[in-house]
A and B are shown apart, each in its own frame.
Chain A
Amino acid sequence: MIKVEDLRKTYRAGLVEVPALRGVSFEVERGEYVAIVGPSGSGKSTLMHLLGCLDVPSGGRYMLDGVEVSTLGEDELARVRNRKIGFVFQGFHLLPRLTALENVELPLVYRGVDANTRREKAVRALEMVGLGARVQHYPNELSGGEQQRVAIARAMVGEPILLLADEPTGNLDSRTGAEVLDLFQRINDAGCTVVMVTHDMTAASRAKRLLKIRDGVLEGDERV
């Protein structure tokens, strides 16, 4: 489902070119649970952004669900992000002025789904993450673990084929972190491909495959 060939990304810092990814190739099948690990500065976040279509590669090819993504325009990338990918970030990134429900509805708003269907789906997604009783709460009324679960509901509400998580447990204590990882497990069991970037080995150990990155190249590919 994901096919990456010689993927490269170079950032410019003034006149100096900084290579973040120096030719990475791998494939991920539908339904896999992959953790991308590596020390900070290894390029794993860059890889994550490329996989999430948040950034475009400087070279190489990236096929997502049979579509060559690296050649798509800005609006088409937005469409891919909206329909095929769900994001979970370290910092939750919930909009503070919106309720949990409205936050979860957001991807469907940009998809053009009508209000009733939106609401129905969002409530269901929140129930799935165990927050059915918190739909009208604002993010600042929720604990960190709850906020991250709202974020997961938001990621899953559009039924994406790929869940991308960037250090999802980074801002959580170990107990709530474990709850989040349990959720990922359930999502993966339901057939959704999960790709997680982390340097937390407890989190990484929950995945079924480890991609190790160092200095912008793939250093190891282990299946557990």
Chain B
Amino acid sequence: MDFATTVKMGLKAILSNKLRSALTILGVTIGVAAVIGVVAVAQGSQRQVTSQIESLGTYLLTVSIRGRGADRVLTYDEVMELTAGIDGIAGVSPVVTGSATAKYGTHKYDCSLLGVNEQYAIVRDMKPERGRFFTQVDISTRQKVALLGQNVVTELFGLSDPLGKEIKLNGQTFVVIGVLAARGGGLAGSEDDQVLIPVTSAERLMGRRGVSTFYIKGQDKESVGQISAAVSNRLYRRFRDEEAYRIFDQTQMLQTVTNISQTLTLMLASIAFISLVVGGIGIMNIMLVSVVERTKEIGLRKAIGATRRDIMRQFLFESTMLSGIGGVVGIITGTILARGIASAIKVPAIFPWAGAGIALGLALAVGIGFGIYPARRAANLQPIEALRTE
């Protein structure tokens, strides 16, 4: 039998029972849409998390000090000594974080306050858009100077120029020396909401002594590992306790996050795949009913010369067509679904081309797989017995 006739006959059979076919197709559609939707959203959120981690900067080590007993922090000078003389370091900067109310005239803005040093610009790839960054002198002489994030500038100054203006941070006066370039969201809130001040001034302003977090930036990928080992070594000598500090390798973290999210994606996709299998069972069910209903037709076809193969092909084609249509509609609805979910939870949806291909392939495989048994049953009908059925 030629392909065109097979298609025509298949379509006629599917259209002859529209509601039933539509419901069967719906089963597959839901399965495929679930797979596509889940994978698209999962990949989208994975990309968002990785880009957030990447936005920290490359070759970055984050050192957190927990301390031991009463000895909980390092002084700024200790940090700088600790990292001095290690090869491959591009920059080191402590980070003392807090929050502050920034005031300029009558304008007020609650922002996060970061005490850093002059190397923070290198460590975080952060260039001032206007003005200048801190110098070593600013740090050592505890200058009351500040760099403002974009949001802070907009809130306090509107469109006027903030450079050289005096603002109050928790009541103390600071001079604005620069404006940071816009960065967008980070892992811990928007970096555009930040105000940077020298770490030495920050200690005073916040009434805290010592540094519990600092960043080290390596020159290249290779040096990161060596730096990590060297710093770890020195920290151990300082605290005599491995639990007293922790060094985070950004690259490693990225790897871990990617692994976790891939596993999660796979797991969710597998769950979604179950509904595709259920859709396949729906096809099998309907094809079995169809074989019984069309016993007479099968008998007649065989009587006038259809072989087992012909009958088998006809029924297999029908089930594959049902699942194929379901697959295509499923990809479309899955994409729409993914867009909806993604915009609701504010992650980008990434259309999984490979996933779509696989889902469609799976749908067709389901159609064939679950169609074989009914088709074989049809093909095995004896013509006289089939014709006798009234």
Contacts and interface: CB of A to CB of B under 8 A. Distances in A.
A106 interface: yes
A144 to B, nearest CB: 16
A186 interface: no
Determine the main DSSP class of B at the interface with A. helix
A184 interface: no
B387 A82 contact: no
Contact of A82 (B297, B300, B304): B304
Given A114-B2, A115-B2, A115-B4, A91 B305 contact: no
Interface in B303-353: 303-310
Categorize the interface residue count of chain B: 20 to 34
A97 B16 contact: yes
A97 B13 contact: yes
A54 interface: yes
B12 interface: yes
Interface stretch (A30-38, A71-79, A193-201): A71-79
Given A93-B296, A97-B16, A110-B310, A81 B384 contact: no
A82 B1 CA distance: 13
B383 to A, nearest CB: 5
Contact of B382 (A55, A95, A97): A55
Contacts of B1: 109-110, 112
A93 B305 contact: no
Nearest to A45: B384
A161 B301 CA distance: 19
A87 interface: yes
A75 B305 contact: no
A52 interface: yes
| Most chain A beta-carbon neighbours within 10 Å: one of B13, B16, B296, B307 | B307
Interface string B357-390: 0000000000000000000000000111001001
Contacts of A95: 297, 300
A54 B306 CA distance: 12
B2 to A, nearest CB: 7
A14 to B, nearest CB: 16
Nearest to B1: A109
Interface in A55-109: 55, 74-75, 78-79, 81-83, 87, 89, 91, 93, 95, 97-98, 106-107, 109
Given A89-B387, A97-B16, A109 B308 contact: no
A49 B309 CA distance: 22
A81 B304 contact: yes
A149 interface: no
B308 A107 contact: no
Given A54-B383, A55-B382, A93-B387, A75 B2 contact: no
B297 A78 contact: no
A84 to B, nearest CB: 10
Contacts of A111: 305
A8 interface: no
A190 to B, nearest CB: 20
B307 A110 contact: yes
B252 interface: no
Contact of B304 (A55, A75, A106): A106
Contacts of A87: 303-304
A154 interface: yes
B141 interface: no
A96 to B, nearest CB: 9
A81 B303 contact: yes
A180 B338 CA distance: 64
Nearest to B15: A97
A54 B303 contact: yes
B304 A54 contact: no
A119 to B, nearest CB: 12
A111 B306 CA distance: 8
A93 B188 CA distance: 75
A73 B187 CA distance: 73
Interface string A7-33: 000000000000000000000000000
B305 A82 contact: yes
Contact of A91 (B2, B5, B304, B390): B390
Contact of A54 (B16, B307, B308, B384): B384
Interface string B278-309: 00000000000000000011011111111111
Across the A-B interface, the 3 shortest Cβ-Cβ residue pairs: A82-B305, A110-B305, A78-B307
Interface of A: 49, 52, 54-55, 74-75, 78-79, 81-83, 87, 89, 91, 93, 95, 97-98, 106-107, 109-112, 114-115, 154, 158
Given A55-B384, A78-B308, A93-B387, 12 more contacts: A49-B384, A78-B305, A79-B305, A82-B305, A97-B12, A98-B12, A106-B301, A109-B2, A110-B301, A110-B306, A115-B5, A158-B305
24 contacts: A54-B383, A54-B387, A55-B382, A75-B307, A75-B308, A78-B305, A78-B306, A78-B308, A81-B302, A81-B304, A82-B304, A87-B304, A89-B387, A91-B390, A93-B296, A95-B297, A95-B300, A98-B12, A109-B5, A110-B1, A110-B301, A110-B305, A110-B310, A115-B5
